[in-house]
Structures are given as structure tokens and as C-alpha cells.
Chains A and B, each alone.
Chain A
Amino acid sequence: MSVAYGPPEMMAVAMARLIRDGELVFIGVNSPLPLVAASLARRLHAPNCTLLSIGGGVNPTPAGLGAATSSARLSIGSASVFDNVDFYGLVARGGVDTTFLGLAQIDERGRVNSSFIGEQKRPTVRFPGGGGAATILPLSRRVILWRASHSPRIFVEEVPFVTSAGNIDRVVTPLCTFRKEEGFLVLDSIHSYIDRERLAKSTGFAIRNLDRAPVTPPPTAAELSELERLDPTGVRRSEFPPGDLSAA
């Protein structure tokens, strides 16, 4: 039996599966998909992972999820408030297992640019900045990067500026999941609804193992029904531009 799903569901499930039971997982600002994924993992295979939110909560239990992950609502149900200064101390002392980080551009060597393109004083493109990534990427035991969009302007041969680099474990996109192997991004799996030619055209560097990587196991019925119960308002879709939600 086939179950309907698209890139938001595939990404949320793929990211959830990467979380291991018992880990301490950090969810920062601007992170709707990681919030959904970590909450899903806690309901499925990782009930004993600790979710630390930049909203101040340790395993918060707000009534519903929202797209703004810096909200102080993400301390509701928490027995303590763990603020930004506390978090950056914890990550610096090596206390964080897994962190999700966004990106504006990434290159074949897993270097991330979230800062700018062009001259620093007057850039042709200004990005938001990397947040804490330059500190977190070398210090969090594992970092899962994600971006709800996949194009040759995002996945480039070489970034013009390195905002952050370090312990990349996986990069999850609407088309595929990469992993870092011997210093280079390689294809971990390609999502079931994407053909390999399209993935190659959408990526600005040559994928070394394009033809050999497996297909990402589609979300199971159990994963999808739990996802729908957890996220009835569709926070998982909030990072996708309107009209960009179909698998086609």
C-alpha cells in the first residue's frame, strides 16, 4: 500500500531517523523541520533523547508546534530554563551530541557559507549569517545540516567564504541525503521520487557515487501517521516556498 508523502514528510522522517535514543539534541533558531523531526523521534524510536531548545526548554511540551523555534513557548513543560549563554557553554565543553544547523551554501568538502557572496563591505548577496554554527560545527559531536531547497547555487563546488566547518554527519535535502566521507560529501541515499539525472543537474558539484547510492526508504505508514498527529498544522511545510511541495 502506498501512502501519500512529499518532500516535507520525507525530510522530517529522514531527519528523525538520524536521531539516536539517549542523545542530547539541540534545536536552534529558524529550525521548523528539526523541531518536528526531533519531536517525532522522541515519539518513535528515541523516547530517551533529550531535546534542548533555544527557546529555553529541556524536553518542552508545548500544546502545539510552531514555525518560530526561538519562541519562549518552547520552555513550556520544562522544569528549568536553559538560556543561550548556558547552551553555548555546554556546547563548548563538549556536552552536546547532535545539533541541527541550516545553511545558505555548501561545497563538496562540506564547508558552509551562510554569510555573503562578493565583497564583504558591499556583498552582491547578503545571507543571514551562521548563528552559532562556527562554534557548534567543530564542537557538537555530530551535526546534521538541512536545507528545504536543493539547487546548483546552494550545492556548489567551492564556497566563496567559509562561515563554518566541522563535524558534519549528514546533509538532508528535498532530493537526497549526503554524508561526509574522507573529507567529501557523498550520496548517502536518494529520495524515492527523484531520478538520479535530476539530482545531478540540481547539484553544483559532481556526485562521486551517484549511481551506486541506495534509495532512501520511504516514510512508513506508522511514521506518517505519527507525524500527522504531532504536526497537524504543517509546521514541516513552513520552510518550503508555496507551490514547491509536490514530489514531482
Chain B
Amino acid sequence: MSKQLALEDAVRLIKNGQRITIGGTLCQRVPAAFVREMARQAVRDLELVKPSPGYDIDLLAAAGCVRRIRSGIVSLEQPFGMAPNFRRAVEEGRLEVIENACPTIMASLQAASFGVPFQPVAGLQGSDIPKVSGFGKVTDPFSGKEVYVVEAIQPDWAIIHVNEADARGNARIYGTPVWDRLMSRAARRCILTAEKILPTEHFASQPELTVVPELFVEAVVLAPSGAWPTSSYPDHDLDEAAIWDYLKKLRAPDGLARYLEETKAHDRSEKEVAA
């Protein structure tokens, strides 16, 4: 059964107020075309759960799509530095940050993927994060030592950009999966955007290379260079000039609308759906 959808239709699966997680990291293998289409469709009041967002949260913050974020670090990395539209949204009180460390988000997603209510986490001694973010502290019944715990957090959707998928939702990621393997197992359902859609036989020939199995996947979007301007290893590195251009455009009052209009043809091309 084909789960292939056009980008616009896949984005319509995301409802206002839902909790999402987004694959990739900072400016690397972010499902950027999907993120821009969420901004075009003006999805509202999302909660983003992601250890290390970058381009995605910067754009979604500028577009007013996200009301709350749980994250460990938000950056566009060098040479770009901090995510300026994220920063402005937080400083203006439009976006709430639930302060985490990357591995505490990881642990919350692991708890969701394991079906347990909370997860012990190592470290955090001396940090103010547990106090302001509502982590628990329990006594380990086996050693009697105290340990911090974080609650299970299940996103409604994991949105992941992959190198290759079949129409049923089996997917390969080349290079590091970052957090995406975990995200696919923690969320209720996954939406994939894929550089290529290939026959199932390709995946069955080496099933150990499949990072996301079809049983978690709701929809598959064919999105060649769908991570642009972030990287998609090994096909292309991040597009430095295009990220500078994004940052420059968004400094103008109507910059976001113009940017979304200019990138629309790129994002919605190749949307032919297989019969």
C-alpha cells in the first residue's frame, strides 16, 4: 500500500496544538521543505520536542507556528551563530522554552519509545535545569542512591528527512542518523520526506540498513533536495550562501512571506504521486 503524498497534503496531517519532533540537527538534514510548508499553511500552537533544533525552529519561530519548545541547544552553528528569529521570539515572550540538556530530551523520547512513564538520567549535578523544568528525583530501589528522572514525552509526529524511502515507508539514512532512529520509535506516527523513492526490493536486499521501518510511518513525500539549505549527506553539504540569504531576507518586515513564496516552487516540485 502506497503512503506517498504530495508535500501539501502531508503537511495537512499536522493539526494546530500538536506536539512534534523534527529529524536532523542544527543545519544538517533538516526536513526543510516540510518546515517551510508548515509555515505557508500557518500551522499554530505547536510544541517542538528536539534536542538540537536550528534552521527549523528559527523559521517556525519567525512564522509563529510554535508556542513551546523543549530543547538542549538551538543554534545555526558556525559560521552563522545563534538562531536570531528563535532568540527574538523567546525574548518577546512569544515562544516558551522548557530548558533541557540534549540527553534529557533523548531520555524523555526513550521513555516514550519503551512505553514506560519516566526514565532515569545520568549527570545534571549542580545544574538549575531539573528545578526549572520539573524533573523528578527518586531513590534507586536497588542501590538506595538518588537519581534524576524525566517524564516520557510522546510527540504526535516525527518528521524526518531521509536519503531513500519506499512508498510504504521503509527508509535509509546515510551517515549519522543523529536522533532520528529514536524519534521514529518515540512518536505516535512518522512522516518521511525522501530524496528518492525506490522499490521495496532495494530495502529488502539489505534490511539492516533500514533505519525507519514502515510500521511507524503514516506518509512518505518525494522531496529531492528537501533538506536544502541544510545538508543531506552524502549528496550535498549545507548551502552557506542560501542560509546567509535566508537570514538577510528575514530581517525585512515582509521577508518571511517573500522567502516562503520564493522557495515554494522548489518545495512543491516533483510532487507527482505514484499510482
Contact = CB atoms under 8 A, between A and B. Distances in A.
Given A68-B28, A130-B72, A122 B91 contact: yes
Contact of A164 (B127, B175, B181): B127
Contact of A88 (B99, B102, B174, B176): B102
B141 interface: no
Contact of A72 (B72, B99, B132, B176): B176
Contact of B72 (A66, A131, A165): A131
A131 B176 contact: no
B264 to A, nearest CB: 27
Contacts of A32: 78
A62 to B, nearest CB: 11
Contacts of B90: 116, 122-123, 126
Contact of B99 (A30, A75, A85, A115): A115
B131 to A, nearest CB: 10
B242 interface: no
Contact of B175 (A75, A85, A132, A239): A75
Nearest to A120: B132
B75 interface: yes
B129 A163 contact: yes
Contacts of A128: 73-75, 82-83
Interface string B14-28: 000000000001111
B79 A72 contact: no
Contact of B233 (A71, A120, A136, A166): A71
Contacts of A88: 102-103, 106
Contacts, number: 177
19 contacts: A32-B78, A67-B79, A68-B28, A70-B26, A75-B176, A83-B178, A83-B179, A84-B102, A84-B179, A91-B123, A122-B91, A122-B92, A129-B97, A129-B100, A131-B52, A131-B72, A131-B73, A135-B124, A165-B126
A221 interface: no
A194 interface: no
A162 interface: yes
Contact of B181 (A70, A85, A121, A134): A85
Q: How large is the interface on B (under 10, 10 to 19, 20 to 34, 35 or more residues)?
A: 35 or more
A30 B75 CA distance: 8
A133 B90 CA distance: 21
Interface string A121-156: 111111111111111111100000000000000000
Contact of A92 (B87, B103, B174, B234): B103
Interface in A76-120: 81-85, 88, 91-92, 111, 114-116, 120
Nearest to B90: A126
Given A70-B28, A71-B233, A126-B87, A162 B123 contact: no
B150 to A, nearest CB: 11
A120 B133 CA distance: 10
A82 B177 CA distance: 9
B126 A166 contact: yes
Q: 4 tightest CB-CB pairs across the interface, nearest first?
A: A56-B176, A72-B175, A165-B126, A72-B233
A39 interface: no
